[in-house]
Amino acid sequence: MDQLEKAAPARVWAKGGDRPVLALHCSLAHSGAWAGLAEALNGVTTTAIDLPGHGRAPDWDGASDIHGLATELAAAWAERLGQGQPIDLMGHSFGGTVALRLAIERPDLVRSLTLFEPVYFVAAKLAGDPTYPPFDISHALIAERIAEGKSRLAVEEFLVDWGGGERFEDLPERMQAYILQRIPLVVAQNPVLLDDSPQLLAPGRLEGLRCPILMVEGSNSPPIISAIYRALAPRLPQLRRHVEPGAGHMVMITHAQPLAPVVQAHLEAC
């Protein structure tokens, strides 16, 4: 195992083709979250990596820019997989924002984007969307719970909007422990997701993206997700939207089978 594989361990699903797809998971998850969707695709080889502090990756140091580090590691994997050619990139939630950032900062590496509910909340804030203030209140409360050492309460409240529909107490004990340990990673992303520290929304940056983009959301997701789409859509030249009926924020896990043909068609059109 080399240094890149140690920093961002990977799982691979080879489904009848050498075309590389790089997949980036959400907060509190790991690379295995892509299993259902990756297994349902054809003609591609999907590599999903564990982002900093998640899965088998090293623990986050508590101080560095976790979003920037995730982007650097994703870029290194994209370079390795593409071997001088752009690749297809997928990301969910936090991973979706990393994928978007990578496409903006390194367009030479990205052939297409598939974004599942990218939580770039600041886009809705800057657009003045009415869904942002209530989101901001609830998100700030999560941060307060964590700061007060009330991690379990923070997780329980976080999962109401951002989980897969299950209650925390109903999750397996191993999963509970995994999530409790990593809940601080959610607020570690705030400088990027709430304040746009890498300036992804600066004039011309989104407009400069020339790769085809599919943005997927669940019909039952928090209202802030549609607000993010409304803010980004006018600025992305090749954007297509898909709303999956009956799905929530964990759409790419809970609805992997009905989503697979949608993603497959997007990849084949690129």
Q: Which residues of the chain have pLDDT under 50?
A: none
pLDDT for 18 equals 87
Q: What domains does the chain contain, in order, with CATH numbers?
A: 3-269 (3.40.50.1820)
pLDDT of residue 166: 86
Q: What is the DSSP secondary-structure string of 164-228?
A: SS--GGGS-HHHHHHHHHHTHHHHHTHHHHTT-TT-TTSTTTTTT--S-EEEEEETTS-HHHHHH
Nearest to 184 by CA among 71, 24, 54: 54
User: What Cα–Cα distance (Å) separates residue 131 from each residue in 49, 137, 183?
Assistant: 32, 11, 24
* pTM of the predicted protein model: 0.97
pLDDT at 215: 98
Start-to-end Cα distance in the chain: 32
Answer yes or no: are the C-beta atoms of 163 and 28 closer than 8 Å: no
Cα 106 to Cα 198: distance, rounded to the nearest angstrom: 13
Q: What is the pLDDT of residue 46?
A: 98
Q: What is the pLDDT of residue 244?
A: 98
